[in-house]
Structures are given as structure tokens and as C-alpha cells.
Amino acid sequence: MRRLRAALLVVPVVTLAAGCGSAGHTTPTTTHTTTRTTRAPSTSTTGAHGTTTTAPPGLTVQVTASPSVMTVGTPVVFTVTIRGPGVLSGEDVHFGDGGTTGANAGMVPCGQTARADATRTYTHAYLASGTYRFTDAVSVIGPQPTCTSEDVTGSATATVAAPVSSATADGAFLSPTRNLACEIAQNPSSQVRCVSFAPPLLVTMTTDGTLTRCTGSSCELGNPASDTPVLAYGAAVGNPEFLCLSTTVGITCTVPEGRGFTISRSGVTTVGS
């Protein structure tokens, strides 16, 4: 069977910081996983300002990336959702490829009673294949009398696919276990063809997301060449018509609209609408 290329997408990380002082504004943030820290109290002669190690309850930062797997140059939209009590005082966003946006928003007075609820979006395009971690560190100041200060960081990962021409052998590639093999073919017709050798499974997909499946000994699985490259877990390969991502639970291939399939030893499942 022919060989297939690999592609990779990465999402950068963003961090945010907050403090007490004069009023300021906040900047957008994007998160997927959340980590939190609290800062020690600062002294104040009036007792109206300061921080404690008690975090504002219920503060969360979540980040999503759309799309999460893409080709080089495709814009990715990171959506950051912040929910919880307090006043946002700063943000620091990193896309994972050296690009940044946002900054400390300035000092925010302690004692304000407010919600830190906000939803923001950041758009970024990666110029090279790979995996990138997006992070957004958010700082929140709580109300009096404790004036709690908490830094919450959210993150997401974006995978930028490698071109089929450079990451595959004539469009073909193998899973790390070598039990799965796929080919992104353009001639005589554009399609993705993936097989499982044990148990025997075969699935093909055309550019409109239509799937054709075969199970059992009657499937013509073919034999990959000995030099067919392996697509590492977490890596992706693709072109404008198809994207294939290798994971520990199988290989997922989709068309730009998001429809496609996942193939593994357990079978073939449909993804997308």
C-alpha cells in the first residue's frame, strides 16, 4: 500500500497576574487545564489592601482551541472562559511559539465586590508543524477584609500537521505499534485509506467525509513497505483535504469540516457530524 504523511499541531501557554492598587483593565485569556497559586499577604497601615494565602473560592479558567489539529498557517482560535469571584487584575498570554499578547492590567483596589467572569478569544497562526502549548495566567484580587490574591493559569495544546510530502513515504505511514497503517492518496482519486492488521479492518474516506468499511479476512489490507515511516503519538500529518492524528487510542483522520473516523484494534468509529 502507499505511504502517508504526518502532521503536528501545538497550543502555547498563557499566564496571568493580579495585584492591589489603582484601577485598571483586564486583557483576554485562553485556557484548557487550570493550575492555581496564592500569594502571601502584603502589609498595609490601613488594612484596606493586602493579600492572603486564602484563594477566592470557585475561580476557574478553561481554554479551548478550534481547530485543535490544523495545517501550517491555519488560524487557531483560543477561547478563554473565566468564572469566579473577585476582580481581574492582569493577564499574560503565550502561544507556545514565542508569540505573546496581554500584559499586567495594573493594580486593582482591594474591597471591590465583583465577579471575575469573562470570555475572551485569541487568534493565532503557526508557521511550522509541531505541538504548541498555549497558556494564560490570570490574577484575581478578592474583596475585603482578606483581599485574597490568586493566580490561575489555563492552557491548551494545538497540533500543527506536517506536510504529507515530508512526513510520509508516498503518503503512507504506520502507527507506533505498526498494527495500523494509513495512506493519504491523491491519484487517481483523493482519499484516505487506513487498515488494522489484527484484527483485520479496512476503512476509506473521500473528501466529502463518506466512509466505506470492511471487516474480516475478505478485506484487501495490503503490505506496507519496510521503510514506511512511523507517525509518533501526538503527531499529525495532512494536506488541505485530510488531517490524520496519531494517538495512543488509534489514528483519527478527518476532512476540514471535522467529519471522519478513528481506527484502532477495537474497530472503526465515526467522529464529527
Look at residue 191 in the predicted model and tell me its pLDDT: 95
212 in a structural domain? yes
Averaged over 169-184, what is the pLDDT? 96
What is the average pLDDT score of the chain?
79
Confidence of residue 112 (pLDDT cuts 50, 70, 90): low
Last residue of a domain, one of 136, 160, 184: 160
143 in a structural domain? yes
113 in the same domain as 40: yes
Look at residue 22 in the predicted model and tell me its pLDDT: 32
Chain segment 190-222, per-residue pLDDT in tens: 999 999 999 999 999 999 999 999 999 899 898
181 in the same domain as 123: no
Look at residue 186 in the predicted model and tell me its pLDDT: 78
Instruction: In whole angstroms, give the CA distance from residue 238 to residue 168.
Output: 10
Averaged over 164-177, what is the pLDDT? 94
Confidence of residue 113 (pLDDT cuts 50, 70, 90): low
Query: Residue 75 sits in which domain range?
Result: 33-160
Look at residue 36 in the predicted model and tell me its pLDDT: 58
Contact 90, 20 (CB under 8 A): no
Look at residue 140 in the predicted model and tell me its pLDDT: 87
Q: With a cut of 70, say whether residue 48 has pLDDT above it.
A: no
Question: Could you give the number of structural domains in the chain?
Answer: 2
Calculate the CA dihedral of residues 225, 227, 228, 233 and round it to 10 degrees: 140
Confidence of residue 143 (pLDDT cuts 50, 70, 90): confident
Look at residue 1 in the predicted model and tell me its pLDDT: 47
Contact 238, 71 (CB under 8 A): yes
112 in the same domain as 71: yes
Q: With a cut of 90, say whether residue 13 has pLDDT above it.
A: no
68 in a structural domain? yes
